[in-house]
Amino acid sequence: MDLFLQAFPIFLLIFCRITSFFVVAPIFSTRSVPAAAKIGLGFFVSLMVFLAVGMEQSPILDAGYVLTIIREVLIGLLLGFVAYLFFTIVQTAGSFIDLQMGFGMANVIDPMTGVSTPMLGNFKFMLLILVFLSMNGHHYLLMAIMQSYEWIPLGNELFVRISQGNVSTFLIETFAYTFLLSLQMSAPLVVAMFLTDVGLGFLARTAPQFNVFVIGIPLKILVGFLLLAMLMPGIVTLFGIIFEEMFRAMEQLLNLLSSTPDA
């Protein structure tokens, strides 16, 4: 019983960080993964981490233990949120493309998240999930949360870093960078749709007898699908770049949280 009372608080801290990561992290946080599977996976991963790094820990059961639990939950949420930001790139890019092609009003329900998403964004998001799973990206996410204890031990200084503003600055810069990537990803089709609108404008001025509203909508859809088919061969390479940037951002966050606080 004494061994259980000594080990359970440490296991609870590890369990809080890992389960909070699964709540936000891509793939694991989707509605298609049952809650029982998330809890069971979090339990077994926490058990492995506890046997690796938690045996030599000695808990301090006082009022600060509640703050320690909150700190571990925040670490898991931060890691999962940074990974999730890069998965929203394709949905944001798809919304830009749909707005230009005329599909802005035709949203569909994403079975992964259960929310209304743009058609092309949902299509690219499904491709992103398939490519990520084929590259065993979910294994790398598990390795990232398990190895986070080498960077951020249980006795970390997360609240100091938050008070210094380093974490908020990193999140804002990461959000801006992901938004820039989504703009770059949608730029070829958005520019093509803009040039199509310019051509239709010239047509309306030179030949007023043509109804550009009737001609323009199917023309933009046709041009958009042709360009999308031309860009599809390179989309896997583009997804690989997004995954590299995602893991690089997670490494930067771990490095930020593991650095020694300023005096």
Residue % of the chain over a pLDDT of 90:
13
Residue with tokens 């802005």: 104
State the Cα torsion 164-85-23-127 to the nearest 10°.
Answer: -160
CA pair distance 39, 43, nearest whole angstrom: 6
Note the Cα 54 to chain centre separation in Å: 29
Q: What total number of domains does the chain contain?
A: 1
- Determine, yes or no, domain membership for 88: yes
Measured in residues, the chain has a length of: 263
Q: What are 250's two structure tokens?
A: 């997670």
Q: 3-state DSSP call for residue 217? A: helix
Nearest to 26 by CA among 126, 148, 153: 126
| pLDDT at site 30 | 80
- Determine, yes or no, domain membership for 148: yes
Spatial contact of 78 and 255, defined as CB atoms under 8 Å apart: no
| pLDDT at site 249 | 92
Sequence letter at residue 7: A
- Name the more confident of 132 and 61: 132
- Determine, yes or no, domain membership for 213: yes
CA pair distance 23, 69, nearest whole angstrom: 16
Spatial contact of 32 and 126, defined as CB atoms under 8 Å apart: no
Q: What are 105's two structure tokens?
A: 């009003």
- Determine, yes or no, domain membership for 181: yes
| Range(s) of the domain holding residue 253 | 2-258
Q: What are 149's two structure tokens?
A: 């204890």
Q: What are 102's two structure tokens?
A: 């005329």
Look at 89-103, 105-119, 122-136 and tell me which has the smallest mean pLDDT. 105-119
Helix H or strand E encompassing 6:
helix 2-24
Q: Tell whether the model's pLDDT for residue 174 goes beyond 90.
A: yes
- Determine, yes or no, domain membership for 244: yes
Beta bridge partners of 109: 116
- Determine, yes or no, domain membership for 89: yes
What are the pLDDT digits (tens) for 127-166? 888 888 888 888 888 888 888 888 888 877 788 888 888 8
Q: Model-level pTM?
A: 0.82
Q: 3-state DSSP call for residue 116? A: strand
- Determine, yes or no, domain membership for 263: no
**Whole-number Cα distances in Å, 123 to 32, 105, 133:** 17, 16, 16
Spatial contact of 79 and 253, defined as CB atoms under 8 Å apart: yes
